[in-house]
Amino acid sequence: MNQAVIHVEHDPALPRRPLDAWKAGLVLVALILALPVLVVFAHLFLPATDVWQHMRETVLRDYVVNSLLLMLGVGVGVLLIGIPAAWLVSLCEFPGRRLFQWALLLPLAMPAYIIAYTYTGMLDFPGPVQTQLREWFGWGYGDYWFPEIRSLGGAMVMLSLVLYPYVYLLARAAFLEQSVCVLEVSRTLGNGPWAGFMRVALPLARPAIITGLSLALMETLADYGTVAYFGIPTFTTGIFRTWFGMGDPGAAAQLAGVLMTFVFVLIVLERWSRRRARFHHTSSRYTQLPRYHLKGWRRAAALFVCILPVALGFLLPATQLTVWAVGTTDEWMNTEFLRLTWNSLSLAAIAALLAVALALFMAYGQRLRPSWTNAVAVRVAGMGYAIPGTVIAVGVMLPFAWLDNTVDGWMRASFGISTGLLLSGTLVALIFAYCVRFLAVSLQTVEAALGKIKPSMDDAARSLGMPPNRVLRHVHMPIMRGSLLTALLLVFVDVLKELPATLILRPFNFNTLAVRTFELASDERLADAASAALAIVIAGIIPVILLSRTISRSRPGHDTAA
């Protein structure tokens, strides 16, 4: 009996060492992934260079003003499109509602720079729209006014059309999760559909809406392709110009640090908003949502509100891209296009596998040893998604270049051998930047999946003598197979669409579909860019389908009519 007691007392201490190693590894990985952000942030405190002083006196004001105006315009646009559409498909009944539930997410598959190229090709002076108008009315150059697509207002519209799904999907999920009792009480108090929406549903959904708005604004700050093509000076274009045009990485890092403060302000405001207000459901009763049956002009208005963003944000540009791609078969029926496709797919697959593996390691480490240290480490590692790709690229290039130069200098001094570029300018730096940028996407998915597995399953497996790594491999991963696949697909498509980080960090003579699209569009070869752009759009439809299915099942009680 005494031996049995001794065995029980010491057995829990046996896995202590591997768990401590897991914790140390988690913190180390988090610090490595946070390195680019920390490097950029540290440059804010370095002495100003001549280039930085010149920028402060000349163009910095334009960068700030244009970025703020762009955020304001896009913020208004995504709210005006996303919230009404989410309300209509969630709590109203009209023809086509089930179709619009998922169709309204389709613009999410269309990268902003691609829709900008497409509309420029259609609406510019030599485009088909203005050409047809001149033929119909016999106009010449200067005889008529037409909205300028390559402008700040045009960029606001382009970004709003592809970013409103962030607000739409979170607002719709919030509307679907609301208690039917609250809505019924609102009706008994004499509130019609509009009053119930303004006084009850909208305030309850405010935290979700603000989160969606914050995501849209972060993507707006991170955009490079649209603003560069339209010639709008913003932080992202300024970073490229400073790095490549002026050859001053330090000033580029300082400019990236200023941009990063904008992002952090958005994050703080979003968190502060959610802490200031508390929204509680008043009942656990969840039945089929009461729907307002729209008739007459209200039905027509609902159809118009839902059709317009889908048509402008996806159908019209996708159709134009298809027409261009079919008309330029030489651009996609050749070995160059196949090489670009292979580069993009292989790069995205490697980055997705690494991001999911890191997310699994960190989320499971936090599950094994829940502590404030691990929680902070996981949050720090996942903050890269809120940082624009240009900032991440600058933060990766600076330490990697320093390390390469240090190693090369030591090898020259010691052995007379030049090692050249070991990290910077290679695919290693690019894949590392992708992991920093998109780890949060896989981390959130993996954490949600792990949270659904009861701790008793861990205890049962550990009682059978299985170490933590075997519990993860043989118990958790088979259960989370669907969530892991979802995380892989989401990161895969995000990497496929990423432009600024790829432009800065890609090796020489290495192109992807996104870079090729940007290069051709910059040379005004919009039709030639269609095949690469269309390939990116088709790949982007995959996560849209996954998101739509997830939201439709989000309501407790399995509201199949949703």
At 323, give phi and psi (nearest 5°).
Answer: -60, -45
pLDDT number for residue 182: 55
Q: What is residue 556's predicted lDDT score, i.e. its pLDDT?
A: 47
The reported pLDDT for the residue numbered 187 is: 58
Q: Which CATH architecture has domain 37-326?
A: Orthogonal Bundle (1.10)
Q: What share of the chain is helix, strand, coil (3-state, %, to 5)?
A: 80, 0, 20
Q: What are phi and psi of 207, to 5 degrees?
A: -60, -45
Do 532 and 337 contact (CB within 8 A), yes or no? yes
Q: Report CA torsion sign: 3, 4, 10, 14.
A: positive
Q: In sequence order, which residues have a C-beta less than 8 Å from that of residue 190 and are 6 or more positions away?
A: none
Judge whether 266 and 401 are in contact, CB under 8 Å.
no
What is the DSSP code string of 60-101?
A: HHHHHHHHHHHHHHHHHHHHHHHHHHHHHHHHEE-TTHHHHH
Give the number of other Cβ atoms within 10 Å of residue 150's Cβ: 15
pLDDT per residue of the chain (562 residues) written in tens, 0 to 9 = 444 443 334 444 444 455 567 778 888 888 888 888 888 888 777 777 788 888 888 888 999 999 999 999 999 999 999 999 998 888 788 888 888 988 898 998 888 999 999 999 998 888 888 888 888 888 887 788 888 899 999 999 999 999 998 899 888 877 776 545 555 555 555 555 655 666 666 677 777 788 788 888 888 988 898 999 999 999 889 888 888 777 777 788 888 888 888 887 877 776 676 554 444 444 444 455 567 788 888 889 999 999 999 999 999 999 999 988 887 766 666 788 888 889 999 999 999 999 999 988 888 888 877 777 778 888 778 777 778 888 888 889 888 888 888 888 888 888 888 877 788 878 999 999 999 988 888 887 787 777 777 777 777 777 777 777 777 777 778 887 877 887 888 788 888 888 888 988 888 888 898 998 888 888 888 888 888 899 888 888 877 777 666 666 554 444 444 4
Domain limits of the chain?
37-326, 329-526
Q: Sign of the CA dihedral 241, 242, 243, 244? A: positive
CB 486 within 8 A of CB 546: yes
CA of residue 428 relative to chain centroid, distance: 22
| Alpha carbons 474 and 357: distance in angstroms, whole number | 15
Under DSSP, the state recorded for 295 is -
So what's the pLDDT on residue 115?
A: 93
Q: Are 225 and 373 in contact (CB under 8 A)?
A: no
Burial 375-390 (b: 16+ CB within 10 A, else e): eebbebbbbbbbbbbb
List of residues 6+ apart from 490 with CB closer than 8 A: 441, 442, 445, 543, 546
SS3 145: coil
Distance CA 109, CA 131 (A): 29
Q: What is the pTM of this model?
A: 0.81
CATH of 329-526, one of 3.30.750.24, 2.40.30.10, 1.10.3720.10, 2.80.10.50: 1.10.3720.10
- Residue 97: the pLDDT is 87
